[in-house]
Amino acid sequence: MNDESWIVLIAKTNVSAGDELTYDYLFDPNEPDEFKVLCLCKAPNCRKFMN
């Protein structure tokens, strides 16, 4: 037995090699701005913060 941990993501559609995936960490959206993690993805529909 080893000490490795795994995260498994199950997609609703086929994902090809090289496709970009996003993940919503479900951070508290009401957290004060000074504790929020800035998102740098620059997507037009970005929420600007990871949380």
Per-residue pLDDT of the chain (51 residues; tens, 9 = 90+): 678 888 888 889 999 999 988 877 788 878 888 888 888 888 899 888 877
Residue 6 confidence (pLDDT): 86
Q: Is residue 25 part of a domain?
A: yes
Q: Is residue 44 part of a domain?
A: yes
Give how many domains the chain has, as a whole number: 1
Give the domain extent around 43. Answer: 21-51
Residue 30 confidence (pLDDT): 85
Q: Is residue 16 part of a domain?
A: no
Determine the Cα–Cα distance for residues 38 and 11; give it in Å rounded to an integer.
26
Q: Is residue 51 part of a domain?
A: yes
Measured in degrees and rounded to the nearest 5, phi and psi for residue 49 equal -130, 150
